[in-house]
Amino acid sequence: MRITVTVDGTNYTDEVEPRTLLVHYLRERIGKVGTVVGCDTSNCGACTVHLDGHSVKSCSVLAVQADGSEVTTVEGLSRDGQLHPVQKAFHENHALQCGFCTPGMIMQSIDLLADNPDPDEQAVREGLEGNLCRCTGYQNIVRAVRDAAQHMSPGAGPDAERITETKHVGVGGD
């Protein structure tokens, strides 16, 4: 099937097998290897990307379902050479060790902050429940997300990813 997808601001048109998962399309067809696969049951969240502005686990979305959509991966977050505030906060707060869960964590955190710009600790923990990390014990991730929230107030930081106003209830969301 032929699909046209915008990924990190670039348009791609490709023939894909109907069974191709979005994550495999991103990694294997267009080389967006920043998004990784950590499990085969949609539990770990390592493959989280944004589909039309909202986080999805890209292992539970078919590539054909993304036809006509905009996908943002961790590779498309920085603007004009500046890190996204959430990326910066992960670095500043030592919110990663091996870094394998990090792309998914960052993408999920951005969506979480779009829903709730000033979450308390519990809200962050609940918002990240679908993303597993084995290295950090989550504490510094929680700290990073709350820290990022302080830097994502209007006008702060580089162009934070624009989030659409209505929550998209779509394919494969978690």
Q: Which residues sit at the interface with another protein, rule CB under 8 A?
A: 17, 19, 27, 32-41, 43-44, 46, 73-75, 77-78, 83, 87, 90-92, 94, 96-103, 106, 121-122, 124-126, 128-142
Comparing CB distances to another protein, the nearer of 101 and 160 is 101
Q: Categorise residue 51: left if φ over 0, alpha if ψ from -120 to 50, beta otherwise.
A: beta
Instruction: Please state the closest distance from residue 107 (CB atom) to another protein, in A.
Output: 10
Q: Which helix (H) or strand (E) holds 72?
A: strand 70-72
Beta carbon nearer to another protein, 132 or 163: 132
In a 13 Å sphere around the CA of 172, the CA atoms on its Cβ side amount to 25
CB of 72 to another protein, least distance (A): 11
The smaller minimum CB distance to another protein, of residues 7 and 154, is found at 7
Cβ proximity to another protein, 19 vs 165, nearer residue: 19
Closer residue to another protein, CB minimum distance, 42 or 166? 42
Q: How far is the CB of 81 from another protein (least distance, A)?
A: 11
Minimum CB distance to another protein, residue 31 (Å): 8
Q: Angle at CA 29, nearest 5°, toward 27 and 30?
A: 75
Min separation Cβ 165 and another protein, Å:
27
CA distance 103 to 137: 17
Contact call for residues 49 and 55 (beta carbons, < 8 A): yes
Strands 48-51 and 70-72: antiparallel
Torsion (CA) 75, 77, 83, 85 in degrees, nearest 10: -140
Token couple for 49: 């990307």
